[in-house]
Amino acid sequence: MMSRQAFLCGLGSLYLSLLFVFLLMDVYARPANNSALKEKPADSKDENEILPPDHLNGVKMEMDGHLNKEFHQEVFLGKEMEEFEEDSEPRKNRKKLMVIFSKVDINSDKKISAKEMQRWIMEKTDEHFQEAVEENKMHFRAVDPDGDGHVSWDEYKIKFLASKGFNEKEIAEKIKNNEELKIDEETQEVLDNLKDRWYQADNPPPDLLLNEEEFLSFLHPEHSRGMLKFMVKEIIRDLDQDGDKKLTLSEFISLPVGTVENQQAQDIDDDWVKDRRKEFEEVIDANHDGIVTMEELEEYMDPMNEYNALNEAKQMIAVADENQNHHLELEEILKYSEYFTGSKLMDYARNVHEEF
């Protein structure tokens, strides 16, 4: 027969085992804490802080000439885009979408017109602009070590190379003494391109020093008409195959470098061609002559072009306008939620009138 002491000892062991199991369950049940990924210290030297981004929010084309797949969501949601996550509850996303609908519908007639959508697109685009301005303040501090309000090319070059893994003190000493830097070919090519962009962002009179506003143009060329032209030249340079500084349809839809290895890759390439052909013929080639000039591409890339915003509004309405009245009702936006928010709502019409 088991003694009282042995029984209590066994009971204690069982308790500890169960406690351990519950603790494990609690750990695995908790949502991951990604705050460390989202919040970087102010003095972070991360490369992404100082390198011009390829993706510009609210701009239809990436810096490398690829189409911005999230453009419609960016100009419809603005800063609220992050709230529409794939793993969010459809019911919550539906309510958020209803609130946005009421904001776009400024005359409260329960439908959105092209003019109302145009106003909203311009508002959300400006929101992205202001966000870039705020981020630029932090990024500028990261490359302005002496805090004098100006950054020289050499100061930026040192910070950039440090972000690539080079020893910052050694690089600074070599540059100060005009010594040769041993840099790999790929990094040197990136530096050369950045230097061209740096010179373009340097407003007259040129002094090769960028202030905070000029640095914003360096990182976000969509904020400057001059830099917008430079960005267009870079895109055409990359896509233009015959050197005439214009783009034909065949040049614009040319597949990215690489070989098709399987059917899945073939499908991706087919989608690439289909999307780019549609954008070229229906949007970028304004006069439909089969040629895109620098001027046409510049108008297309300008996020604050009101005419473009109106055209975009009409296209967005056309996607979901099932009753063909040239307006969007709430039910239509909810049904085509994936187009507007990137989030697919299930049972989109359920309780619409009760919730709204």
3-class secondary structure, 61: strand
Q: Is pLDDT of 23 > 70?
A: no
Question: Among residues 138, 283, 291, which one has the least CA distance to residue 216?
Answer: 138
**C-beta separation of 124 from 73 below 8 A:** no
Hey, CA dihedral for 277, 122, 107, 76, is it positive or negative? positive
Could you identify the residue written with the tokens 């949502």?
Answer: 31
257 has pLDDT over 60: no
Q: How far is the C-alpha of 329 from the C-alpha of 102, rounded, in Å?
A: 11
Kindly report the pTM of this predicted structure.
Answer: 0.75
Residue 111 near residue 328, CB atoms below 8 Å: yes
* Among candidate residues 91, 122, 86, 88, the one with its CA nearest the CA of residue 104: 122
Q: Where are the domains of the chain?
A: 70-150+211-353
Kindly report, residue by residue over 51-106, the tens digit of the pLDDT: 888 899 999 999 888 999 999 999 999 988 888 876 677 888 889 999 999 999 99
Angle at 107 between CA 313 and CA 75, to 5 degrees: 30
The 10s digit of each residue's pLDDT in 169-202 is 999 999 999 999 989 999 999 999 999 999 999 9
Which of 114-128, 216-230, 246-260 bottoms out in mean pLDDT, i.e. has the lowest?
Answer: 246-260
Angle, to 10 degrees, between the axis of helix 114-143 and the axis of helix 90-104? 110
82-91, 125-134, 309-318 — which is least confidently predicted?
A: 82-91
Question: How far is residue 48's CA from residue 30's CA, in Å, rounded to a whole number?
Answer: 29
Ramachandran class of 11: left when φ > 0, alpha when ψ lies in -120 to 50, beta otherwise:
alpha
Q: What are the φ and ψ backbone dihedral angles of 292, each rounded to 5 degrees?
A: -105, 120
> What pLDDT does residue 111 have?
97
Q: How confident is the model at residue 235 (pLDDT cuts 50, 70, 90)?
A: very high
Which residue's structure tokens are 């020289």? 152
When computed from its CA atoms, the radius of gyration of the chain, rounded to whole angstroms, is: 27
pLDDT of residue 87: 60
Query: How many whole angstroms separate alpha carbon 146 and alpha carbon 138?
Result: 14
